[in-house]
Amino acid sequence: MKKNKLKKLLIITSGGDAPGMNAALRAVLRTALSEGLEVFACENGYQGLIDENFFSFSSRQVANCLQRGGTILKTGRYEAFKEKATRDRCRASLEKLGIDAMVVLGGDGSFKGASLLESEGGPRTIGIPCTIDNDIIGTEYTIGFDTASNTALEAIDRLRDTAFSLNNHFLVEVMGRAAGFLAVDVGIAGGAEFILIPEAPITTASLVHQLQHRKREKLASIIVVAEAGHPGRSMILAEEIMSLSGLAYKTCILGHAQRGGAPTVKDRKTAALMGYYAVKHLLAGHSQQMIALKDEKIIMVPFPDPALGARCFAEQELLAINRLICEI
């Protein structure tokens, strides 16, 4: 634990955007200012460090951002940051500005980059987990998940209106990277007949068999399909179902619309708490740590190792419960 006095703090958002990022960066800024720190921000994630997109960050710049989705600091995925030579250049620009600590809002890939930068002599870093996928190892919640779930649910409710009116069956594809968290929550809340997630794979033949032998015939229905690392896979699935059974399924890929929109109460509140604790932990001398949620409490854990992969959905009995409820 390094306890040297903290003076200049930098905030960046990195990776995919998530609703609630603005609430988190606002909390980081306001907490840091109240502790007497000088605060800077950088636009465009790690790419911005190379381009030296730094600016002095004040409370006025976060006015009216709480209710906005996305990130007012812009973000990006910057592959070149995996190379030491690129990180060396970033470190040099951070040193020039006198930055001694950094709060990174992003996912496991972004934290890996921050961790390497710090080990190589860069600023002390704390991460705040932000992704609609809720798939970061070490935390039970990531900022953006609740908003994205509610956005997807609203779309499903709308689809139900038209599916019921026209007797249509739908495959609704949701995001989630390689994990099924979004699909499960949205599927249960939306009354999906099936929820297809990578953690509980079934063959199309088995799905078709279950559709053909269901307890009661359904004139309209929804199956929620996790993208499972292959965006667009619901289109292929619809074709397979058709050729195996003649059952017609329309597809609706919710895509990037799930990432936008005003953050929910849960996302804003969690973001505010995580932002506050990120600064407090830096001031207490911690670094190379991620703020996390466990049993509804904010804690701090070591940065997750992306080599271990993403967190997977493990409560498979929820899928069975959903099947039972939908069958009756």
Which residues, 17 to 76, sit near ligand F6P by CB under 6 A?
A: none
- Cβ(173)–Cβ(233) below 8 Å: yes
Q: Scanning residues 184 to 243, which ones bind ligand F6P (CB under 6 A)?
A: 227
Assess contact for 139 and 294: CB atoms under 8 A. yes
| Phi then psi dihedrals of residue 44, to 5 deg | 70, 35
Reported in sequence order, the residue ranges of the chain that DSSP labels E, i.e. its strands, are 8-13, 38-42, 54-56, 101-106, 124-129, 169-174, 194-196, 221-226, 250-253, 289-294, 297-302
Examine residue 177 and tell whether it contacts ligand F6P (CB under 6 A): yes
Among 131, 234, 264, 270, binds ligand F6P (CB under 6 A): 131
Q: How far is the CB of 100 from ligand F6P (least distance, A)?
A: 30
Could you give the CA distance from residue 163 to residue 220 in angstroms, rounded to a whole number? 6
Retrieve residue 316's tokens. Answer: 């498979």
Cα 37 from Cα 80, distance rounded (Å): 30
Minimum CB distance to ligand F6P, residue 229 (Å): 7
Of 19-27, 125-133, 161-169, 198-206: span binding ligand F6P (CB under 6 A): 125-133
Q: Which is nearer to ligand F6P, 19 or 275 (CB)?
A: 19
Residues 142-171 that bind ligand F6P (CB under 6 A): none
Shortest distance in whole angstroms from residue 254 CB to ligand F6P: 10
Give whichever of 19 and 122 is closer to ligand F6P, judged by the CB atom. 19
CB of 128 to ligand F6P, least distance (A): 15
Piece of the chain touching ligand F6P by CB under 6 A; list 47-55, 175-183, 189-197, 304-312: 175-183
Nearer to ligand F6P, 100 or 133 (CB): 133
Is 175 an interacting residue with respect to ligand F6P (CB under 6 A)?
yes
- 23 close to 66: Cβ distance less than 8 angstroms: yes
Taking the CA atoms of the chain, what radius of gyration do you get in angstroms? 22
Residue closest to ligand F6P (Cβ): 175
Taking the least distance from each CB to ligand F6P, the nearer of 133 and 185 is 133
Any idea which residues carry the catalytic annotation?
133
Given the complex with ligand F6P, which of 27 and 254 has the nearer CB atom? 254
Q: What is the smallest separation between the CB atom of 278 and ligand F6P, expressed in angstroms?
A: 20
* Residue 30 one-letter amino acid: R
Within 259-278, the residues that bind ligand F6P by CB under 6 A are 259
List 171's β-bridge partners, or say none. Answer: 223, 251
Residue 303 is given by DSSP the state P
Instruction: Tell me the C-alpha distance between 13 and 29, whole Å.
Output: 13
d(CA 195, CA 186): 9
Please tell me whether residue 283 adopts helix, strand or coil conformation: helix
Binding of residue 183 to ligand F6P (CB under 6 A): no
Which position among 45, 48, 176, 263 is part of the footprint of ligand F6P (CB under 6 A)? 176
Tell me how far apart the alpha carbons of residues 56 and 37 are, in angstroms, rounded to a whole number: 11
| Distance (Å, whole) CA 225 – CA 145 | 17
Task: Pick the closer one to ligand F6P by CB: 130 or 163.
Answer: 130
CA triple 139-142-146, angle to 5 deg: 130
> Where along the sequence are the contacts to ligand F6P (CB under 6 A)?
16, 131-133, 175-177, 227, 259
